[in-house]
Amino acid sequence: SSSDCPKAVGWEKNPKGCMGPRMVNLSECMDPKRLAESSVDLNLKLMCWRLVPTLDLEKVVSAKCLLLGAGTLGCNVARTLMGWGVRKITFVDNAKISYSNPVRQPLYEFEDCLEGGKSKAVAAAERLQKIFPGVRAEGFNMSIPMPGHPVNFSETTLQQAQKDVAQLEKLIDGHDVIFLLMDTRESRWLPAVISASKRKLVINAALGFDTFVVMRHGLKKPKNHEIGDSPCNNSSGSVDLLGSSLFSNIPGYKLGCYFCNDVVAPGDSTRDRTLDQQCTVSRPGLAMVAGALAVELMVSILQHPEGGYAVASSSDDRMNEPPTSLGLVPHQIRGFFIKI
C-alpha cells in the first residue's frame, strides 16, 4: 500500500508527514573555498575564546582597506591584513614588477617580471585571491598627482590627472582605512588631504635605511560634535570621549598628520637624485616590521570605543590600564634597527 515504507535507505517523514528523502547540504564540509574561509575565521576566534574575550573581530573583518602603494610595504601590509581576516583590500600603484622586486615583495614571483613586468596593483590583487579565495581584492593601475610634479604638459596629461584625482577620491570614499605606503613623501600629500576632508582613518608607514615611522593621522571633529553631541554613546557623562580618556593625553582630533610640521609645501624629492639614488634602499627586514605594526595599530584603533578619535597613548602609559583589549593606541611608532 501507499503507506508502506519504501525499500530505500534514508527515507523518513518530512514536516508534511509524507515519506521522502532527507537532504543534507555538505557544501560547508566539502567545498575547499568554504573550508578555507571557516579555518581562517576559526583561527581568529580562538584568540577570543582563549585569550581576548572582548575582542570585536567583526570590526576588523568588515574593515575595507585601501593600500596606496603595492611595493614592499604594500605587500607586507596586505599579508598581515589577511591574517586578521580582512576581506576587502584594494591596491593602487602605477609601477610594473621589476626583477629586483620578488625577493622583497612577497606577492610577486619571477614570472611576473617577464615581458616588461605586470602591473603591481593588478598582480597583487590576483595573488591575494589565489592565497585566499574569500578575499575581495582589486587593483588599480593609476598615478597619484603630486606637489612639484607638473601635469599641465598638454591637454591630455591634464585630463588624465583630473581623472586620477576623481578616481582616487572615489576609492577613498568607498573604504574605511587608508594606508599610505608609497615611495616618495610628496605622493602621500593628496591622499592625506582628501582623507582628512572625509574623516577617514589614515595609517602612514615610511622607511629609511634602518629606521621607520608608523603613525595615524588625526581626525577632524565630527559635525554632530559641533552641535553638542558626542560621536560615541556616553550616557554617564563622566568621560569626554573627544577630550580625555583614561590618560590625560592628546585627543584624536588634535593629532597631527605626516605633513603638519612642514614649514613649506612638499615638492619634487626625486628631481636631483642620481641614478643610484632613485631606488628606495632599506634593510630587508624593515618593511616587514613596519608593515606589521601599521596593521596592528589599525586593529587597536578599531577596538577602541572612540575609534579614530582615540586619545593617543604614550610610553608613560605602559604601567596603566590599557584603553583597549589589545593594549595602547599611540599616535606614532618609531623604530631604529641600529639600536635594537
Q: What is the pLDDT of residues 299-325, one digit of tens each?
A: 999 999 988 998 888 776 666 667 777
What CATH number is associated with residue 170? 3.40.50.720
Asked if the structure places residue 238 within a domain, the reply is no
Asked if the structure places residue 26 within a domain, the reply is no
- Per-residue model confidence (pLDDT) at position 152: 78
* Type of residue numbered 22: R
- Per-residue model confidence (pLDDT) at position 322: 74
Pairing of strands 19-21, 88-93: unpaired
Asked if the structure places residue 3 within a domain, the reply is no
Asked if the structure places residue 19 within a domain, the reply is no
From residue 249, how far is each of 72, 331, 335 by CA, in Å?
33, 10, 22
Q: Is 157 left (phi over 0), alpha (psi -120 to 50) or beta?
A: alpha
* 279 tagged catalytic: yes
Q: Domain tally for the chain?
A: 1
Asked if the structure places residue 9 within a domain, the reply is no
Q: Which domain holds residue 326?
A: 32-218+251-336
- Per-residue model confidence (pLDDT) at position 269: 67
Asked if the structure places residue 36 within a domain, the reply is yes
Asked if the structure places residue 2 within a domain, the reply is no
- Per-residue model confidence (pLDDT) at position 264: 74
- Per-residue model confidence (pLDDT) at position 234: 41
Asked if the structure places residue 167 within a domain, the reply is yes
- Per-residue model confidence (pLDDT) at position 24: 73
Task: State pLDDT tens for residues 104-123.
Answer: 999 999 999 999 999 999 99
Q: What is the DSSP string of 248-275?
A: -S--GGG---TTTT-SS----SSTT--G
Give every residue of the chain whose pLDDT is below 70, as ranges.
1-10, 28, 224-248, 269-279, 316-321
- Per-residue model confidence (pLDDT) at position 274: 58
Q: Catalytic residue among 65, 232, 257, 279, which? A: 279
* 323 DSSP assignment: S
- Per-residue model confidence (pLDDT) at position 318: 66
